[in-house]
Structure 1
Amino acid sequence: MSKHWGRGALSTALISALLLAGCGSNSEKGAEPKNAEGSSETTVNASGFPLTKDPITLKMFTRIAPANGPFKDMPVFQDYEKMSNVHVEFTEAPTDGFQEKKNLLFASNELPDAFYRSGITQLEATRYGTGGQLIPLEDLIDKYAPNLKGLMEKYPEIRSGITTPEGHIYAIPGIVTLDAARTDKKWINQAWLKKLNLDVPETTDELYDVLVAFRDKDPNGNGKKDELPMTARPPVPGQGLPIVNMMSGSFGLDQQLGYNINLVNDKVEIWMGNDRNKEMLQYLNKLYTEKLLDPDMFSQKEADYLAKQSSGNTGLFFDQTNNVFMPIKDQYTGIAPFKGPHGDQMQSQGAPVARDFGAFAITSANKNPEVTMRWIDYFYSDEGSTMLRFGREGENYEMKDGIPYYTEAFLATGNQAKITPYAGGGAPHLISDKVASFINPPQVQEAQDKLTPFMPKVRYASPMFDEKTAQEVNVLRNDIDKYYEEQSAKFIAGALSFDKWDEFQSTLKKMKIDKLQDLYQQAYDKMAK
């Protein structure tokens, strides 16, 4: 997903727990979920198109992003209806207020047939699955979703990341097999390096020296000390500090299981209180104190950050793709992670293959779950994903060497985001190297190639907890995450002395970080079986 087409699609169980307080299901809690297999009102064709002999209508609730046009006008849904014999009536809810509208549907039990691009969180999946409002999908996937099943077999971490401790799958994710769509690249101003006759920095010490040169040696040539050596995204509460996420790998700190976790010989280690983290924060404090790191990093808006990318007056920043700074793309190049003081060189930041949890779910109101599963499975093929992302061949895109590219005429209209639910993020489909020409042009893939040797073999997604454990994890994380993010920002900005580190560690202990670690360990043990 291009982050500039929408960052609001990724929900967390942490946020969900707060939004869902008091929002229950009309179904009996704890009941064994019914499997809707066999309840179909129409006969589903086992393979090929159409999916059914007789036309049917499915009602789906979806989030519509500001960039999107109406779903009914998107060529993917118009053309797919003709292919499949399935008409979809979308109820579109804007991103603002979307969570509340979704909560209300569950609370009132006025359910659509399916939730499409609705950001079903792990807590919601477990709560409404065990409550009977979302149906289990594992058998339907096995029989009616060969594309999705094949991906789950090729990438076992997909199944482990979407399966409850009881063995049920209540929601399916967006799947990203393209590494370049799951990482933020490290973009450095190569024009400034050339101007100052500097090599690409390979270590954290060399990075410091380069940033000092960017600050002091007037690489933009205007005679003013107005260059911004390095910047990063503003923080999003509950999602960590972006600058920490970007630099942690240089200090041996990974981000497994969707959290600040190292996996060492199958042992979960939450590293927020350890000495490597202290070293990283001290390094970032040095950069910040010496005005090598953006002084507005913690307070700026996303729009400010994007403007700094496109200004050409920034030395180093982080982003998935190059579409914001495309007019000056030749000024920048992607580089490898920096080797840290202990020799660590890791691309710790990055999403799992199952990137967008809860992209699609089928409800107990659905009379045709088999057809619905076949309907969504098409989008987990390269052919279906091409239709979803690019529209109509000839009109919106053309094929070159087996890869779809928007036509120049269509690009000139500026309507790419109007024709696809991909724009805005969170759509249930496959993002592979075959369908990513728009977000993964050669410059971006070259930048990814610098990161790939330093990525973990498996990036584990956040684990599925049972509802009771999920609530416990959320309560613990709500306090711990807020404290860690606030204190880390203070350490970096110099508002909190590192003489207080022992007190910081002690407070994390009092907040039961060891208990949180144990809960993640138990979940990982089940995932790794």
Structure 2
Amino acid sequence: MRKHWGKKAMTMMIVSGLILGGCSGNGNGNGNSNSGSEKENTPSAAAGESAVKTDGFPIVDEPLKLKMFTRIAPANGPFKEMPVFQDYEKMSNIQVEFIESPTDGFPEKKNLLFASNELPDALYRSALSPLETVRYGSAGQLIPLEDLIDQYAPNLKALMEEYPEIRAGITSPEGHIYSIPGIVTLGSARTDKRWINKSWLEKLNLEVPETTDELYDVLLAFRDGDPNGNGQPDELPMTARKGLQIVNFMAGSFGLDLQLGYNININDGKVEIWSGSERHKELLMYLNKLYSEKLLDQELFSHTEAQYLAKQGTGNTGLFYDQTNNNFLPIMDQYVGIAPQAGPHDDRLQSNVAPVPRDFGAFAITSVNEHPEATMRWIDYFYGDEGSTLLRFGREGEHYEMKDGIPYYTEEFLAIEGAQGKMTPYAGGGAPHIINDKVASFINPPQVQEAYEQLEPYMPEIRYAAPMFDEATAQQVNVLRNDIDKYFEEQSTKFIVGALSFDKWDEFQATLKKMNLEELQKIYQEAYDKMAK
């Protein structure tokens, strides 16, 4: 029977993060005893530094410098040339030197920083996982932030009070917060839309596919029907971001959810890791069929993020996934958002939905930072409407204008190709700030809102975010997942591209079992049981 998830999803409860232990809340944010009542004029750790103000600008009277390690997306220019950081330096009296690392290869460089202990003052747009956050926090390389938030982050503190799932999702079992997320209260910004080339559908007299079988037929027609009319077989029927993102996008059609930040279904209170399940096999067989018949991008496992984004803007792609439409604005009328397809067992779930603290580990302060109070004040600005507007829209009059209290890019600015990515770090995702309806005019225009409405009825009613385990459990999970995830990704890729026969499926399942998949499942079950109490 087909699963309909209902309009209740508009107000779906986001159950976020698990505190698997006592929340003492008594750790100092900067690791010293300088907390308490001196809120109006609390000095930083550096001798001779001017007092850090708890509100207003500048943050400090005497200029100071910070170094921050950051990810730079393909669309971005140098951060030092972005108006947000140029203007904010003048406002705050804090100069930031960004150590930039491209998206491709960023995780490796981030890990090397911690392994070598050559740390910056902070990590910006850092995408620290819960496991990394607990590990580096417990090791003393990241400092606790809860007291700093209480004293120097009024915007973030207010959001955490309004959305309790934020605090729950980022607090370790010991009661510490070692990193803060990008926060998204706008529903349409928490999931990628499914964009299909409606011009091709119309030319080939096709309907929007409602099932995975119909999707196959549509992609076949895109490949063979010359919908672009140039007489050449050069159409790209379907593409996605690099690697196994395609598995996440299609999982819901095969009854597979992504709960607790992992390959997990929860049925009647029972946690099931589906990595070696028969439903997963069916999904991989379907993707293998698409790939082997060149209906799925042959560069899926090799193209870069920049190349993927470029494919969206060609108008020569049939189906792809993205949160918004700003990568294909010049040809936006050619595409429309559609619902997920029903799979072979009538499952129709939009599984890849993020919680309100969407971008976990977006910002963290390291133990070498001599100015943690000023650093927290610096980042907190972007969790308010004013700071988020500066970060996302730049300078009023030059880059945007206000209409009914909402910032909109000027037509002149939008006409400059690639201007947004060079102007703001939000392009490319993962920046630590607030995304709400007041600052989302560009990523949430009517076309995107309509695409979101197509997905909304099929979203899970409850979204459980990744648990935060205690240090010992986190280490255990890390050891298990390092082997399991690597093997899962390698073998799944081989199944999709046809380098591994499905005759080897039993062997695949047996190997996962030997890697203690059941033990990992037990840990997640215990986490869920405590969460569901």
TM-score (ref. length: structure 1): 0.82
Alignment-mate amino acid for residue 183 of structure 1 = T
Question: Which stretch shows the higher mean deviation, 267-276 or 153-162?
Answer: 153-162
User: Aligned to 1:392, which of 378, 395, 398?
Assistant: 395
The aligned residue for residue 47 of structure 2 is none
Secondary structure of the structure 2 residue equivalent to 1:520: helix
Deviations 1:398-456 (A, max 9, x none): 11232212223333455433333334543221112221223333222221221122222
Q: Go from structure 1 to structure 2 and tell me whether the alpha carbon gap of 1:259 and 1:57 turns closer, same or farther (over 3 Å shift).
A: same
Which residue of the partner structure matches residue 249 of structure 1?
252
> Is residue 2:278 matched to residue 1:275?
yes
The one of 501, 506, 515 equivalent to 2:505 is 501
Counterpart for residue 20 of structure 1: none
The residue that corresponds to 2:470 in the other structure is 466
Tell me how far apart the structure 1 counterparts of residues 181 and 452 of structure 2 sit (CA, whole Å). Answer: 23
**Where does structure 2 lack aligned partners over 5 or more consecutive residues?**
1-29, 37-41, 45-49
Asked whether 1:89 is paired with 2:87, we answer no
Q: Displacement, 1:513?
A: 0.6
For 2:351 and 2:208, locate their aligned partners in 1 and report how far apart those are by CA, in whole Å: 20
Once the two structures are TM-superposed, the CA of residue 223 in structure 1 deviates from its matched residue by: 4.1
Q: Which residue of 2 aligns with 1:446?
A: 450
Q: 2:35 aligns with which of 34, 37, 41?
A: 37
**Equivalent residue in structure 1 for 2:192, among 180, 184, 191:** 184
Post-superposition offset of 1:337: 0.7
| Residues 470, 36 of structure 1: alpha-carbon distance in 2 compared, 3 angstrom cutoff | farther
Offset at residue 193 of structure 1 (A):
1.4
Q: Give the C-alpha shift of residue 247 in structure 1.
A: 0.6
Query: 49-58 or 148-157, which moves further after superposition?
Result: 49-58
1:253-268 matches, within 5 Å, as 253-268=256-271
SS for the counterpart of 2:93 is strand
C-alpha distance in structure 2 between counterparts of 1:215 and 1:224, whole Å: 10
Structure 2 residue matching 1:95: 3-state secondary structure:
strand
| Counterpart for residue 57 of structure 2 | 50
State whether residues 143 and 178 of structure 2, in contact with CA within 8 Å, keep that contact through their aligned partners in structure 1: yes
- Worse overlay, 356-365 or 441-450: 356-365
1:333-370 deviation per Cα after TM superposition (whole angstroms, max 9, x unaligned): 11011112222111112333223222222345556544
Look up the equivalent residue of 1:340 and give its one-letter code.
G
- The structure 2 residue matched to 1:322, chosen from 322, 325, 348, is 325
Correspondence 1:122-521 to 2 at 5 A: 122-235=130-243, 241-364=244-367, 369-413=372-416, 414-521=418-525
Per the alignment, in what secondary structure is the counterpart of residue 358 of structure 2?
strand
Between the two proteins, the alignment pairs up a number of residues equal to 490
Partner SS state of residue 89, structure 1: strand
Whole-Å Cα distance in 1 between the matches of residues 158 and 469 of structure 2? 25
Using a 3 Å threshold, how does the CA distance of structure 1 residues 520 and 215 change in structure 2: closer, same or farther? same
Name the aligned partner's letter for residue 284 of structure 1.
L
**CA distance in 2: counterparts of 1:87 and 1:202, whole angstroms:** 55
Contact 1:161 1:527 (8 Å CA) reproduced: no
> How many percent identity over aligned positions?
71
Letter in 1 for 2:226: D
Q: Decide whether the 8 Å contact of 1:61 with 1:115 is kept in 2.
A: yes
Helix, strand or coil: the match of 1:92? Answer: strand
Q: Residue type of the partner of 1:214?
A: F
Q: What one-letter code is carried by the residue in structure 2 that aligns with 1:37? A: S
Q: Which range moves more in the overlay, 148-157 or 511-520? A: 148-157
Which one is further off, 357-366 or 402-411?
A: 357-366
Q: How big is the shift at 1:498? A: 2.9
Do the aligned partners of residues 358 and 491 (structure 1) sit closer, same or farther apart at CA in structure 2, a change above 3 Å counting? closer
Deviation string 1:142-177 (CA, Å, 9 cap, x unpaired) is 344332233223433322321112111011111122
Mean Cα deviation higher: 317-326 or 170-179 = 317-326
**Post-superposition offset of 1:244:** 0.9
Change (3 A) 1:267 1:106: same
Is the 2:206–2:218 contact (alpha carbons within 8 Å) kept by the matching residues of 1? yes
- Aligned-residue offset at 1:104: 7.5
Greater CA drift, 149-158 or 276-285: 149-158
